[in-house]
Each structure stands twice: as C-alpha cells, then as structure tokens.
A and B are shown apart, each in its own frame.
Chain A
Amino acid sequence: GENVEQHPSTLSVQEGDSAVIKCTYSDSASNYFPWYKQELGKGPQLIIDIRSNVGEKKDQRIAVTLNKTAKHFSLHITETQPEDSAVYFCAASKGSNSGYALNFGKGTSLLVTP
C-alpha cells in the first residue's frame, strides 16, 4: 500500500520566517496530495491541495510544490504568524481507485514564536 513519510516531526520558527515541511510517497499511482492543519482537540482542516498534473499551487502565504518524478511534495508557509502554530499533515490519494481514501504522514508540529 501507499506509504507517506513526513519531515520534520517538529519545527520551530520565529514569527515572520518561512516554514517548509516535506513529504514523500511510495505509490506512483497517487494523484492527489492535500495538506491539513489540525489545532489541538479539533478535526483536521484542509488548507491546500495539489493534483498530479500541477507542479505548484499558491494561496496567499501558503504554497505547495510537487515533484512526481521524485515522489515528493512540500508545504511552504511564508511570513509565519503565531496562529500558524498547529500540527500539519500531508496525505496522498489514488483517487477513485481507492474510494478517495487518504494515506497520511505522521504530522509536523509547527511552533511559531513571537
């Protein structure tokens, strides 16, 4: 099955700096790669996603890049703010072939210090 690796497990940055989280996946049939933000005691919230026919996608301070050849994708957060502190998860999906089920990385705990 699909195996998603995520690094680092913890990340501490100063407010205003950039944060980068990286993920790799094993199944070349995966074609959808979302990123979720989870605050303590809450369900994960989708913040950005990318499909396999796109190399990069940006939404304000958040961007995701995908390298299909290397099977890795990354989340970039610029101008970080304390409210960006949370656990971030990457995931991969093979779409309708697997009922759109997601395989998640183990998460990155991001701390943004003022």
Chain B
Amino acid sequence: RKEVEQDPGPFNVPEGATVAFNCTYSNSASQSFFWYRQDCRKEPKLLMSVYSSGNEDGRFTAQLNRASQYISLLIRDSKLSDSATYLCVVTTSGTYKYIFGTGTRLKVLA
C-alpha cells in the first residue's frame, strides 16, 4: 500500500460547483497533515493545515479522520483560478520529512 494515496483525477467541474478530494495514508503514527496546491511546473504552495477538529478557510474546508486514516478537502463555489493539482502531505512524529501524495488534478470549467 502506498504511504499516501490520492485519486489522480482529473476532476472536471463547472464554476460554482462544490468538489471534494480524499486522501488516505498508511502510517497510523502520522502526525501532521497538509493540503498544498501546485500549479503546472510551479512549486507547491501551502493551502491549509489539517487539524483534528477540522478547519475552514474561506471556501476551503479540511477534515481529518484518524480512525480511518484519511483526510479530505472540500472546495465550495469553485473558481476558474482553483484549477490546479492538490497535493496531500503527511508527516510522522520524530521527522520533518514530508510525504506527498501524487496529487489530484482539478479543472474548473467556465
């Protein structure tokens, strides 16, 4: 089983739609979780951290389910500018190393 798994997509959605991505991780000792956004041939940029209680930042909501070892990202009211690849990132206790998923590609269509 891969350490961090994501559906590669692409998810093609119309503007204004709500879209959700999931990510599963294999190591139960995983400690910190993030969603990053990556535009084509650019660096990953931190979108949001994922907290145990769930957290929201504007149109973006992240959830963590430790029992089932998955995290999710919900994007409401999709904009054309949301088109990108969304990377799930996991770290484990005692290390600063990021483990990346392969990313989920989102295309928001006009």
Q: Do A and B come from one complex?
A: no
Which residues of B are interface residues toward A (Cβ below 8 A)? none
Which residues of A are interface residues toward B (Cβ below 8 A)? none
